[in-house]
Amino acid sequence: MDLVVNNGKVVTPQGVFQANIGIEGEKIATISKSPLKGDEVIDVSGKLVMPGVIDPHVHMELPFGGTVSADDFKTGTIAGAFGGVTTIIDFAIQPKGESPFSAIEARKKAAEGKVVVDFALHASLTDMEKVEDGDIRKIIEMGLPSFKLFMTYRKEGLMVDDGTLFALLQETASLKGLVGVHAENAAVLEYLIAKFLREGKTEPKYHALSRPNFVEGECINRAITLTEEANSSLYIFHMSTKEGLEAVKSAKTRGVKVLAETCPHYLMLTDEKYEENGQLYVMSPPLRKREDNEALWQGVVNGWIDVVSTDHCPFRTDQKAMGDTFDKIPNGVPGIETLLPVMFSEGLKRGMPLERLVEVLSYNPARIFGLENKGAIEVGKDADLVILDPREERTLSYETLHMNLDYSIFEGLKVKGYPVTTISRGEVIVDNNEFYGKEGRGRFIERVSGGW
Amino acid sequence: MDLVVNNGKVVTPQGVFQANIGIEGEKIATISKSPLKGDEVIDVSGKLVMPGVIDPHVHMELPFGGTVSADDFKTGTIAGAFGGVTTIIDFAIQPKGESPFSAIEARKKAAEGKVVVDFALHASLTDMEKVEDGDIRKIIEMGLPSFKLFMTYRKEGLMVDDGTLFALLQETASLKGLVGVHAENAAVLEYLIAKFLREGKTEPKYHALSRPNFVEGECINRAITLTEEANSSLYIFHMSTKEGLEAVKSAKTRGVKVLAETCPHYLMLTDEKYEENGQLYVMSPPLRKREDNEALWQGVVNGWIDVVSTDHCPFRTDQKAMGDTFDKIPNGVPGIETLLPVMFSEGLKRGMPLERLVEVLSYNPARIFGLENKGAIEVGKDADLVILDPREERTLSYETLHMNLDYSIFEGLKVKGYPVTTISRGEVIVDNNEFYGKEGRGRFIERVSGGW
Amino acid sequence: MDLVVNNGKVVTPQGVFQANIGIEGEKIATISKSPLKGDEVIDVSGKLVMPGVIDPHVHMELPFGGTVSADDFKTGTIAGAFGGVTTIIDFAIQPKGESPFSAIEARKKAAEGKVVVDFALHASLTDMEKVEDGDIRKIIEMGLPSFKLFMTYRKEGLMVDDGTLFALLQETASLKGLVGVHAENAAVLEYLIAKFLREGKTEPKYHALSRPNFVEGECINRAITLTEEANSSLYIFHMSTKEGLEAVKSAKTRGVKVLAETCPHYLMLTDEKYEENGQLYVMSPPLRKREDNEALWQGVVNGWIDVVSTDHCPFRTDQKAMGDTFDKIPNGVPGIETLLPVMFSEGLKRGMPLERLVEVLSYNPARIFGLENKGAIEVGKDADLVILDPREERTLSYETLHMNLDYSIFEGLKVKGYPVTTISRGEVIVDNNEFYGKEGRGRFIERVSGGW
Amino acid sequence: MDLVVNNGKVVTPQGVFQANIGIEGEKIATISKSPLKGDEVIDVSGKLVMPGVIDPHVHMELPFGGTVSADDFKTGTIAGAFGGVTTIIDFAIQPKGESPFSAIEARKKAAEGKVVVDFALHASLTDMEKVEDGDIRKIIEMGLPSFKLFMTYRKEGLMVDDGTLFALLQETASLKGLVGVHAENAAVLEYLIAKFLREGKTEPKYHALSRPNFVEGECINRAITLTEEANSSLYIFHMSTKEGLEAVKSAKTRGVKVLAETCPHYLMLTDEKYEENGQLYVMSPPLRKREDNEALWQGVVNGWIDVVSTDHCPFRTDQKAMGDTFDKIPNGVPGIETLLPVMFSEGLKRGMPLERLVEVLSYNPARIFGLENKGAIEVGKDADLVILDPREERTLSYETLHMNLDYSIFEGLKVKGYPVTTISRGEVIVDNNEFYGKEGRGRFIERVSGGW
């Protein structure tokens, strides 16, 4: 064996069991009851061995509101590696008036040479005038079997209408493609934004007040209805409300293939954050109430929510300060490095089994997005592993985290349990607080299908 | 007494009972167990005495698609009077770029001097840029406490967006106003229309196929969500689908103040009509399936649907022929004269109690739309009555009906039970197949409130 | 006219309007806009004229737990008349091992000669061994088209099992009969009673704790399921919980013919009453929480609950004291005299329209239980009327009430609006705090059908 | 390695992957990408390696209706081994009037020395008078953490009432115990049985007609309500109806811990079987309609139903013939040997993923019933494996099956895919149509907990 991880407690969606893992090249070669021998041996007694985290929702170096998100593909994925992330999925966003293919090529180019873990891309379509017959199939066959449509952001030139969504849902149904949406009712939130601005209400808290829960709930319901009628599948990015969750539960119960994602900030933080330095917490959809947090936690624990991602799209405090009215603040918060520690530590408190943790962080995103060699500790899969020490206690702070930021949304949060070693395709890239990987070592992964 | 109706069976929402009715001037003055004396005495032994029918959804002389609906306020209301209708509510539609008030004045002027029964108007708003602060209150105080918004008809310049609907729902909530909607998802149906046209599918049946059930169902759901959030009331014009009905049932059950209307053609006809001379049956929403008919009948009988109106908006066969592709056919069908005979005869077959019949045709529209002196047989109310002979059998045909049309959607339908005498504010205007009223005798009714 | 009620505001389920009512003999003869002349003229300017209250759930002189309920047919109906009640429905309970007919005869005999208002009887069946083929039809044809089955009270010899309920539902379906139930899960409450007694928990509050909400909710659900399967109708006596209400709403929404009744004590009082002199508030089902009160009020106001009755079954404080453990306390509380004043005064506070008040107190019980000449102010109906002065303020107290009791469950409650005159079949039996009726003047009413 | 299974396709709930399995003693020691060496090597190229099937619902040598079920612990478990079953859970049924412990001891004794695969027992309680304080805990600690209560079979002396169920649900909630139920409304089915017998309707089909769907649906609903109120967990044995499934879906959606089991005969057969030789298909609950089959299949595929067991309780045709009226026929059918072949072959046709197959047949029953060393292919677990050849085609017939029966309910069914080798704790007990195990080699498994 090239690399051996001995004496760990292996965590899979099926259970937690004592085992030793042997790696040859980039792959898991053996899982054994007895300790193994190898060129390199890591003893992880007392620690957990989990599949590497897959963050299927990140925005590295994204232009937004006149600036660019603060982490590039290098800093962002290094930070991710420190947090146990071994695969990311970012977005190739079609510019209005252009073909989607140039954006895909450009985005691959931007990442290659920089990423330190593997990456994939969702194709985000914004202008169907420029999508020709056969393009959808071509995009899927290029390894991008998942799409993102924005049901809002009209002014930003991202929004598509319900007809476009319905048409794409119909087309992907037979192609093993998956449509994902950012679901917020554009016309209602635009009306509320304009109303608040007209009334001189410009502080960050009006960002949240202009996007009340039903703005998301209604839109998720609508997207589900179109999905059901198209006999297709739907992925809901960053669901933030109990109303959205109820719609998802109802849809799943009647057999609609809808998959839902939430993020740690929607589980942990509330709109009270908008009272002070509120701009630092401006993202869309916005933070909600404690009762939404609790409902979403239940959704994660009980299996209604399939994926926890980060929507990592950070801006430094100076960037955040650029918006003098709430509608001008760059949208987004950091998260990639704290995803696993926060979910482990806080999930445990809420009775989330470890089996479920690796499901929402690794197994499900791999399966949903067609990462066929990722997301499981099985012989033959990529040796993407994270070793977590359940006794390690830390206090989260931007000062010790590795994201390119001067604040953290979880500043001061004490967590128990922390990733200590990260292995990507058989290579130890993080160990004992040191990064050992090489810039650009990550690969673009052509995915095989979308859906479940 | 000026006029006396003796020996009838009086029908009210509460029950059916033998009584004699005395009228003084325009009002009901006495309801008595013993026959009454009066200047004019009508003996109606063996017949039913019901409150005059209120049709709250008609479009007389409406410009649409380059032509004008075939009944004007005179021909349409005379035909209505033959069918037992004693009040209509038509629409004052704000032209884009103009104030709503001019449309109201113009519409009143168009009707006055022509209408033979009383009339009122809904205010249809299409351009909120031209609606100033305070205008909504002013419109309500002018006696138009009900509004209509189109959630579709973008190209026709009628459509408003969800932000506008939400804002109006909020504003009317405190003003005793009622918002009604034409609910169809515009973007989806436009996509389907364009797709069919592109594929060369231009026959009338594609009108229905471009507006599948969920196009209405989704939109009704959305409108209900906005209503619930605005803590307001909603009226759904011409609901045609079982999906819409389910949304209404669910909303009513959780206490949302939503009121629903359907029309006889959605109860009686199916999309098989589009196979031959389909253009004659083109209206929006379109005809549906037998299972929708049946669901809607159950909704009417069991009280989930509050009003049956006609959406009377007829075009002659030459007008209907103007559209060479399905999207160009003038939308609308006749109905005002056949509303009561069809609902009486067909309702009876389906076990609808007479109490329920007068509820959906008279009592509910009066109460919902604030016609405080209409819709009930009670002392003090306007003496608007229709005498129906339950033994009278007729075969419906455009040749014997009085609408300005050369076809009927119910051609050949045999009905049992027919209105034989119509009394409007104490005046017999139809009797024994003769019209006795004077052109322009109808009055504009200032209504007091909308809602329930 | 023999008797004339001039200048009142008449309240019907359809509306409230100024009118004058003329009575000839026992019947309403005229409703007129102009004041009428008559042998006896009552001017009721400023007052409301409502149909006499029908209390379809009373237990006069009922043997229970070794004693007898404190009001007999005379004292109970006189008290009722003071409260505007003009009809009661009591119960003929079949003793185990005996035919149901003897109980019917006995109960009629007990009432006749005593009752001062009209009365009817529900047939309560407890022993199907003694009910022969054809008996159900015979009972219905004797004028008792409504039955009551106890799903609890095993030890008391009243309980029947689900098979019996299902069989009776099937049989009545075709006979225009209506089955009503006392719905509490017997086995669960008996288990809890035994458990508490074993633990030495014997105070009155354990009466409520041994019958938690789901004991009723489950049982109502079960009864509804059997009704739906038998394609029959169901009446739920004295529903007390929000869980029961939810079951009823769901059933009505899917079209099951279920009718629900609650009582003022379930609307107004909570289980806090069990803390002091708790035995005075022991009835089955027991008092619940504030949230149940509020849910039930919403159910009454919004039309999900069809009837408000009293379950009048009072015991004096000495009788209540007979039970040294909670399971031995005679079950029941007084209510017949305070039904209308409490519902009027408290209903108004909660936005209940007057139309709805007369629906739940008069129109609905008449229609549901087949009292074809009662429950409406219409020419030809029995002249059963109550005149209520909406300005009259009183503080309820057993000292001034006329029930044969030494306490009131509403002691000290201030009400605004009080019945001042009661007319039964054309005869003024209460006026200005005096009773003028003759003992035994009430008649047994043969009812025509049960259901809706 | 003692035993090696090379070149198989391993099936787990997580996925299907090529791997080689090494066994040492009774345990799985290694899972490896490369072929392994060992004392005994089985090459299973082209075949599937699955965890051994766990049948948690069998009745070997059960006395019923004057006879005894036809398979004893030896014949039944040998037949099971041929079908890939490596663990069974049978029942220790407390006789009325006796302590539950003697039944447990007796049942263990009956099995030991005979069983050829491992076995466990559910404790079936029928008489709480004989269950003392602390007994429940004691039973759980003896390794029987799951209980079965009969909500029907009153005459057979098995039935308990709702109070008993509620009490046991409350007690097990804190003890990691699980309550399972046979859910049929006893009183309704007894009424229907008596009615049919009275009417001379005695053929087998009246067995089904006396237990219509709602008899099960109602009872499942009731059991769920009690579970929810007790904040406990529930296992539903042999669910047969779409109504039951709807209740389970609704319960799971609102977070109630309810687990559901069905059997192949409820998935594959309909009540048409009662037309000819109907007695051979008499079991309780009975066979249903095609629409129930389809609903249950969907429930299995989509994860609403957790376990597929057999309720193996066979009687030979002469035993079945003993009942001259439908209520006297011994209840039960064979199934243990055909469970895996039928579910594999028919599941595939209905799109059931292999991952899901091993979940319902192995992983879920192990987890639900606390068989901590069973149900998964993981290093450290018992080496209970079944090798299935997906190309093997057979026609099922009692003549070639090994159950002690002279008929099969699946006679003539063609299946594709058949178990060819069965390994129990590292020992090959069936291979190539030969049984190699030793009578009595199976062990009693003390289970650790019940629930999920």
Model pLDDT for residues A276-320, shown as the tens digit of each residue: 999 999 999 999 999 999 999 999 999 999 999 999 999 999 999
Which residues have C-beta within 8 Å of that of residue B379, sequence separation ≥ 6? B27, B28, B29, B30, B31, C17, C18, C19, C31, C32, C33
Cα–Cα dist C217/D222, whole Å: 10
Cα–Cα dist C226/A416, whole Å: 54
Q: What is the mean pLDDT of chain B?
A: 97
Identify which of D362, D447, D439, D361 has the alpha carbon closest to the alpha carbon of residue D92: D447
Distance of residue C26 Cα from the nearest chain B Cα, in angstroms: 13
Residues A117-175: pLDDT tens digits? 999 999 999 999 999 999 999 999 999 999 999 999 999 999 999 999 999 999 999 99
For residue A423, how many other CB atoms are within 10 A of its CB? 26
Whether residue A452 has pLDDT greater than 90: no
Q: What is the mean pLDDT of chain C?
A: 97
The tokens describing B8, both together, are 């009838």
Centroid of chain to Cα D273:
22
Cα–Cα dist D39/C252, whole Å: 70
Mean pLDDT value across residues A252-270:
97
Q: Which chains touch C (3 or more CB pairs under 8 A)?
A: B, D
Largest CA distance in chain A: 71
Mean pLDDT value across residues A342-355:
97
pLDDT at B347: 98
Q: For residues C81 and C169, state if they share a domain.
A: yes
A452: in domain: no
Mutation target vs A (from B129, B222, B231; most A CBs, 10 A cutoff): B222
Q: For residues A19 and A63, state if they share a domain.
A: no
User: What type of residue is A29?
Assistant: A
pLDDT at D449: 83
Whether residue C261 has pLDDT greater than 80: yes
pLDDT classification of A450: cutoffs 50, 70, 90: confident
Cα–Cα dist D245/D253, whole Å: 12
Distance of residue D221 Cα from the nearest chain A Cα, in angstroms: 17
Which residues have C-beta within 8 Å of that of residue A302, sequence separation ≥ 6? D255
> Phi-psi bin for A43: left (phi > 0), alpha (psi -120 to 50), beta?
beta
Do C163 and D229 lie within an 8 Å CB cutoff?
no
Q: For residues B348 and B427, state if they share a domain.
A: no
Do A187 and B167 lie within an 8 Å CB cutoff?
no
Q: How does strand C414-424 pair with strand C427-431?
A: antiparallel
Cα–Cα dist B254/C295, whole Å: 12
Identify which of D389, D390, D386, D407 has the alpha carbon closest to the alpha carbon of residue D398: D407
Q: Name the DSSP letter for residue D448.
A: -
Q: For residues B268 and B401, state if they share a domain.
A: no
A253 interaction partners in chain D (CB closer than 8 Å): 249-250, 253
Distance of residue C129 Cα from the nearest chain B Cα, in angstroms: 37
Residues D308-333: pLDDT tens digits? 999 999 999 999 999 899 999 999 99
pLDDT at A312: 98
C441: in domain: no
Distance of residue A149 Cα from the nearest chain B Cα, in angstroms: 15
Mean pLDDT value across residues C382-398:
98
Distance of residue B76 Cα from the nearest chain C Cα, in angstroms: 30
Q: Which of B33, B249, B250 sits opposite C29 (nearest CB)?
A: B33
Q: Which chains touch D (3 or more CB pairs under 8 A)?
A: A, C
Q: For residues D40 and D130, state if they share a domain.
A: no
The tokens describing D45, both together, are 């190229």
Q: For residues C396 and C415, state if they share a domain.
A: yes
For residue C350, how many other CB atoms are within 10 A of its CB? 12
Residues C191-202: pLDDT tens digits? 999 999 999 999
Q: For residues B417 and B322, state if they share a domain.
A: no
Q: For residues D288 and D414, state if they share a domain.
A: no
Q: Which of D163, D192, D222 sits opposite C218 (nearest CB)?
A: D222
Burial class (CB in 10 A: 0-12, 13-18, 19+), D141: exposed
pLDDT at B65: 77
A164: in domain: yes
Comparing B63 with B189, which gets the higher pLDDT? B189
pLDDT at C66: 85
The tokens describing D170, both together, are 């409350």
* CA–CA–CA angle D274, C168, D185 (5° rounding): 50
Mean pLDDT value across residues A259-266:
98
Please identify, among A316, A344, A369, the residue that sits at the C-terminal boundary of a domain.
A369
Please identify, among B320, B348, B369, the residue that sits at the C-terminal boundary of a domain.
B369
B452: in domain: no
Q: What is the mean pLDDT of chain A?
A: 97
Distance of residue C250 Cα from the nearest chain D Cα, in angstroms: 13
Cα–Cα dist A304/A246, whole Å: 9
Mean pLDDT value across residues B369-387:
97
Exposure b/e, B119-143, CB count within 10 A at least 16 = b: bbbbbbbbbbebbeeebbeebbebb
Place of tokens 């109905």: B335
Please state, for a pLDDT cut of 70, what percent of chain C lies above it. Answer: 100
User: What type of residue is A112?
Assistant: E
pLDDT at C425: 98
Q: What are phi and psi of B103, to 5 degrees?
A: -60, -40
What is chain A's length? 452
Residues D66-121: pLDDT tens digits? 899 999 999 999 999 999 999 999 999 999 999 999 999 999 999 999 999 999 99
What's the total number of domains in chain D? 2
pLDDT at C65: 77
Do A218 and B225 lie within an 8 Å CB cutoff?
yes
pLDDT at D64: 84
Mutation target vs B (from C32, C300, C381; most B CBs, 10 A cutoff): C32
Whether residue B215 has pLDDT greater than 80: yes
CB pairs under 8 A between A and B: 62
Please state, for a pLDDT cut of 70, what percent of chain A lies above it. Answer: 100
- pTM (2 decimals)? 0.95
B342: in domain: yes
pLDDT at B323: 85
Place of tokens 């997906």: D390
Q: Which of D31, D250, D255 sits opposite A302 (nearest CB)?
A: D255
Q: For residues C113 and C256, state if they share a domain.
A: yes
Please identify, among C369, C398, C424, the residue that sits at the C-terminal boundary of a domain.
C369
Whether residue C449 has pLDDT greater than 90: no
CATH of the domain at A418: 2.30.40.10
CATH of the domain at D196: 3.20.20.140
Q: For residues D205 and D116, state if they share a domain.
A: yes
Identify which of B396, B409, B197 has the alpha carbon closest to the alpha carbon of residue B282: B409
pLDDT classification of B302: cutoffs 50, 70, 90: very high
CB A10 within 8 A of CB D380: no
Q: Which domain holds residue A32?
A: 3-50+381-435
Long-range contacts of D134-139 (CB under 8 A, 24+ apart): D135/D99, D135/D100, D135/D101, D136/D168, D136/D171, D136/D172, D136/D175, D136/D177, D137/D175, D138/D101, D139/D100, D139/D101, D139/D104
Do A32 and D29 lie within an 8 Å CB cutoff?
yes
Mean pLDDT value across residues C149-174:
96
Q: Which of C167, C188, C226 sits opposite D162 (nearest CB)?
A: C188
B442: in domain: no
Mean pLDDT value across residues D435-450:
95
Cα–Cα dist A67/B44, whole Å: 82
B431: in domain: yes
Whether residue A423 has pLDDT greater than 90: yes
A and D: touch, per 3+ CB pairs < 8 A? yes
pLDDT at B43: 97
pLDDT at C240: 98
* CA–CA–CA angle C200, C202, C203 (5° rounding): 135
Residues of B with CB under 8 A from a CB of A: 161-164, 166-167, 185, 187-192, 195, 212, 214, 217-218, 221-222, 225-226, 228-229
Residues C32-75: pLDDT tens digits? 999 999 999 999 999 999 999 999 999 999 988 789 999 999 99
Segments in A13-61 forming alpha helices (H) = none
Q: Name the DSSP letter for residue D213.
A: H
C448: in domain: no
Residues D138-173: pLDDT tens digits? 999 999 999 999 999 999 999 999 999 999 999 999
Identify which of A68, A65, A130 has the alpha carbon closest to the alpha carbon of residue A94: A130
Q: For residues D288 and D308, state if they share a domain.
A: yes
pLDDT at D451: 78
Q: For residues A27 and A84, state if they share a domain.
A: no
B380 interaction partners in chain C (CB closer than 8 Å): 17-19, 33
Mutation target vs A (from D50, D253, D358, D448; most A CBs, 10 A cutoff): D253
Do C187 and D161 lie within an 8 Å CB cutoff?
yes
